[in-house]
Structure 1
Amino acid sequence: MIKSPVLYSLHKRGKQAFCVLFTLGLFGCDVLLTSTNQTTGIIYCSEGSPTNFNPQLDTSGTTVDASSHQIYDRLLDFDPQNGNVIPSLATSWTISDDGLKYTFQLRKNVEFHQTNYFVPSRALNADDVIFSFDRWRLKDHPFHMVAGGTYPYADSLGLDKLIASINRINGYRIEIVLHHSQSSFLANLATDFAVILSKEYADQLEIKQLKSKIDSQPIGTGPFKFVNFRQDSFIRYQKHDKYWGESIQTENLIFDITSSSSLRLAKLITGECDAMGLPAHSELEIIRQSKGLVLDEKPGLNVGFWAFNTSKPPFNKPEVRRALSLAIDKNALIEAIYFDSAIVAKNIVPPTSWAFQAEQKNLSYNPSAAKKLLQENGIEAGFTMNVWAMPVERAYNPNAIKMAELIQGYLQAVGVKVNIISYEWSTFREKLKQGDHDSVLIGWSADNGDPDNFYRPLLSCAAIKSGTNRAMWCSPEYDSLIDQALHFTQIEDRQYFYYKANALIAEQLPLIPIAHASKYQAYRENVKGFEINPYGGVQLAGVTKN
């Protein structure tokens, strides 16, 4: 029997945790206990340990949250209000008339972190930008293979093949030349994964033959510098005193790694944490009714889906995939899992995207038609398949295990037996990449508002190798459509190709879009400046508490 994390908290914390238990059970305890933790800084309750501290290597939200906006900067950023690309480490840029040449002017006097393992002798310059991009785009780069040579986001978008050259004009100006124009290129340079590393630090590590340290003992230019990390326990950061950006930073930042959402909430209520990520959807009303807590909500640029491994029979047959889709009731799944915080997905892009097609029809729940179609395709009663379910909570699927159990019941009704499989998160993702699954409940959160951020990472042929195409589906027709969309800058022109891609997905069903969910974060009312980042990972720069 699995013990409730809240009951465990009760056992460990006595009277204080009793109030937490009372709060969680009765939707609101009027008196919040004052924390005995007087840490001068922000304590953020996160849901898991990062795989590493370099988002170039990992698309996991856990890794992104721990590194992208705390440790690093990018050439460009997104305006959180409208999604426009704005300056960051690049103060300005120009684009040639043919769209092939981008010239960036770099910000001066940007200092790298000084830690007990690295003391920089110079500020950021063009060499650092070229090093950071060449690492993932050039296979003969001395650091390309350090972590295995896989860069999921860049690989899934084919950025290594898109860029013809990166040239140093002077110490603070670089030129990026493309093989062909691409309308989403600037947006991709502003995503969480386009971080800038220190070449000077890398050079020192190479001399010491410690190159792997670049991803585990990170150096960046971001608002916080890395101090130390204990797996499944905590990450410690300190304020970067010479940060070029917003100067109002907390002195210390701690990620308290707590996998259970109910225990994260307990820590938030008792003041052991100042803010928490990914509150369970079943806990949202508790947070709303708890005095002293704040719950923020924004529409999410995400999609939760059920993907079939199309490289394995019988899931390589579109009609089998259609039959399984007809067997499940998406409306009932959303009601049971999302607690009125999501809408039924029609496309892989959410309604906030201009590539969304409201007129596209969902397959209706029809178990009789599902059973008939399965029989027509040689799937007899008693057929067994597995459904992999994420072990972690995400906005796009806050409880994949429970959803898998519901799907298990639906498929049993049409004669299909389901085994539910889950692993520790890092192991889960690695085995997915190897293609061991029959199907998987997972999803995607976009890092910018361009629909290309959904179409290519999720279903392009290149994204199979990078590990983000969980359906293992490769369609030259689909790739051609989404590639053509990038040759145009006008929305109407691009819509034409994305609508055709939507129709192809609906016909072939490599995955079943299930839900687009709202994005939530919770924090104590004395925390100021903590806002939801609609375009990627959590941002704690500028967050303070009274």
Structure 2
Amino acid sequence: MITRRELLKQGALAGAGLAIAGGMPGLARGSNHRRVTIAQGVDIISWDPYGHSVSTNYGQWLHVMEALVSWDYDRKRYVPSLAESWKAEGNTWTFGLRRGVRFHSGDPLTARDVAYSYERIKRSPQQGAVMREVREVKVLDDHTVQVVTHKPAASFIARLTNRVILSEQAARKDGADMDRHPIGTGPFRFVEWVRGSHFTMRRHEGYWGSPAQVDTLVWKPIPEDAARVTAIESGGADIISNVPPHEVERLERHPDIRIDKIRGDRIMFLTLSPRFKPFQDRRVRLAMNHAIDVDSLIKFVLDGRAYRLVGPVGPSVFGYDPSLKPYPYDPARAKQLLAEAGYPNGFEVDFHSPSGRYLKDREIAQAVAGQLAKVGIRARLITPEWSILWSEFTAGKYNFVQIGRGDVVDGDEYLTQYFGTNVTKRLGYSNPQLDRLLDEQRQIFDQDRREKVLQQAVRLIHEEAPCVFLYNFQDLYGSRKRVTWKPQPNEYILMWRASLRG
């Protein structure tokens, strides 16, 4: 294992201390105690729920817009949201919609809105893969919609928890103006979005479910760790995400602050896209896995606030295989593999990483670059603004990227999204044997049998090493004690369930 001193020598922790700009406009709490301000590391990318696939966006969209079903982490099952009932028969899923639900525009929710939304998702360059199995969406009556797939699709319901339903009438009217006028059925109504500054929601008084205690909800992007900490200490923010691990003990001593912790389901990894010639060789991909000391990254950069991953999914995910063994940190073996692959002197590669999106992401990237340098791989670290990085990555323009995939309950969608042939442009990976396994498990409704096939896919991905799989985070939130809420493994900060005091 690499020591902290060695990491420092490699420059892994350089630049970790970030200066705080004088003043933080717009962070004053105001007099309304039912107003809650949340500070996260990045801004929302868009209010088009089908234009992007980012967990922070979903956690915000779901306050305004809702899906047919949701996943209950406590009960470990899918539960009703806009759909009260559903059943699967062969290649047909039938959903019965909740009655009496209205959009914020006043229009009633009908099966036509569901059909419109799902057809729109099918056409989306970013999310179309989610509905690639869908042959047809049928409106049976105002409150019954039927989804017909090309083949039986046992995991289809897992794809629906984030696929929110739009008002067909409002969406056709507003078109590309959805960033200014998102209309949903959720517990909060959209008020305004000032890009890079804040966006504001207010409680929807006509919500079909239990009303939120929070009247006004303000989300603010604050990329710098130190600035988010200052915001929670000053009362300028009520909740912050990604508390720096070294600040946890100090903040826990603050009389008005609580640290909320949970093991997240986000899978952090480094992509090794075959678009970059060296990564086409499995020996190079294995060398990358042996060259990176994941345990040291967790211990010294993340202060132990993460859980090492072995393979592409963690233990909370359907499809996890506990028999897998990690690639050991072995620089000598990495050099040997590189030489066998024809790269005795290593190679240069652009390394794209976010800064502020994930916990200690810049510092992790610096540490990884330092470790790779020890085996001759010269990684040029590039840290674009998050929205640019995400857009370019999903367009297939980056090859070696630090990225995370959150909200993973069932491994099927994530594994297909990143490793299925021609499903998305993110990785550009193709393996016919893997495609067959993923297709096979998707058609098996017996969950024990399906999981065994999915585990075969997980083992194959681990053996072929198209990525360096790193860890799940221990998600750390700072909360003012006047706000009581329950973190979820998917990183969603859900305020319609929060309670307030004072």
Deviation at 1:37, TM superposition (A): 2.8
Alignment-derived partner of residue 305 in structure 2: 341
Deviation at 1:392, TM superposition (A): 2.6
2: CA distance, partners of 1:222 / 1:496: 37
- 3-state SS in 1 of match to 2:401: strand
Amino acid at match of 2:238: D
The question of 1:258 aligning with 2:222 is answered yes
Deviation at 1:178, TM superposition (A): 1.9
Runs of 4+ in 1 over 4 A off after TM superposition: 1-7
Deviation at 1:215, TM superposition (A): 4.2
What TM-score does the superposition give when structure 1 sets the normalisation length? 0.84
Pick from 431, 451, 455 the counterpart of residue 411 of structure 2. 451
Alignment-derived partner of residue 126 in structure 1: 111
For the 8 Å contact 1:303–1:444, the answer to whether it is kept is yes
Amino acid at match of 1:48: V
- 3-state SS in 1 of match to 2:137: strand
Amino acid at match of 2:36: I
Pick from 514, 519, 525 the counterpart of residue 475 of structure 2. 519
Deviation at 1:89, TM superposition (A): 1.0
Deviation at 1:354, TM superposition (A): 4.5
2: CA distance, partners of 1:302 / 1:453: 14
For the 8 Å contact 1:6–1:266, the answer to whether it is kept is no
**When the two structures are aligned, how many residues end up with a matched partner?**
485
Deviation at 1:502, TM superposition (A): 2.4
Alignment-derived partner of residue 199 in structure 1: 168
- 3-state SS in 2 of match to 1:254: strand
2: CA distance, partners of 1:2 / 1:450: 37
1: CA distance, partners of 2:480 / 2:252: 12
Alignment-derived partner of residue 531 in structure 1: 486
Alignment-derived partner of residue 87 in structure 1: 80
Deviation at 1:4, TM superposition (A): 5.7
Pick from 140, 144, 150 the counterpart of residue 169 of structure 1. 140
Alignment-derived partner of residue 402 in structure 2: 441
CA gap of 1:327–1:232, structure 2 versus 1, over 3 A, is same
Alignment-derived partner of residue 156 in structure 2: 185
- 3-state SS in 1 of match to 2:496: coil
2: CA distance, partners of 1:47 / 1:172: 40
Pick from 454, 461, 474 the counterpart of residue 421 of structure 2. 461
Alignment-derived partner of residue 356 in structure 2: 392
Alignment-derived partner of residue 362 in structure 1: 326
What TM-score does the superposition give when structure 2 sets the normalisation length? 0.91
2: CA distance, partners of 1:390 / 1:47: 10
Alignment-derived partner of residue 47 in structure 1: 41
Alignment-derived partner of residue 337 in structure 2: 373
Alignment-derived partner of residue 449 in structure 2: 493
- 3-state SS in 1 of match to 2:231: helix
Alignment-derived partner of residue 146 in structure 1: none
- 3-state SS in 2 of match to 1:356: coil
CA gap of 1:526–1:364, structure 2 versus 1, over 3 A, is same
1: CA distance, partners of 2:20 / 2:395: 38
* Aligned Cα root-mean-square deviation (Å): 2.3
Residues 437-462 of structure 1, C-alpha deviations (whole Å, 9 max, x = no match): 34111121124x22214321221124
Alignment-derived partner of residue 214 in structure 1: 178
The question of 1:275 aligning with 2:242 is answered no
- 3-state SS in 1 of match to 2:280: coil
1: CA distance, partners of 2:287 / 2:17: 37
Unaligned runs of 5+ in 1: 18-34, 115-119, 140-148, 206-210
For the 8 Å contact 2:64–2:188, the answer to whether it is kept is yes
What are the within-5 Å matches in structure 2 for residues 25-64 of structure 1? 37-39=30-32, 40-64=34-58
Deviation at 1:536, TM superposition (A): 5.8
Deviation at 1:535, TM superposition (A): 4.2
The question of 1:151 aligning with 2:126 is answered yes
For the 8 Å contact 1:223–1:249, the answer to whether it is kept is no
For the 8 Å contact 2:265–2:316, the answer to whether it is kept is yes
- 3-state SS in 2 of match to 1:455: helix
Residues 325-370 of structure 1, C-alpha deviations (whole Å, 9 max, x = no match): 2122111111123222212211211122342222212121111121
Amino acid at match of 2:465: L
Unaligned runs of 5+ in 2: 1-13
For the 8 Å contact 1:520–1:532, the answer to whether it is kept is no
Identity %: 23
Alignment-derived partner of residue 104 in structure 1: 95
CA gap of 1:337–1:5, structure 2 versus 1, over 3 A, is closer
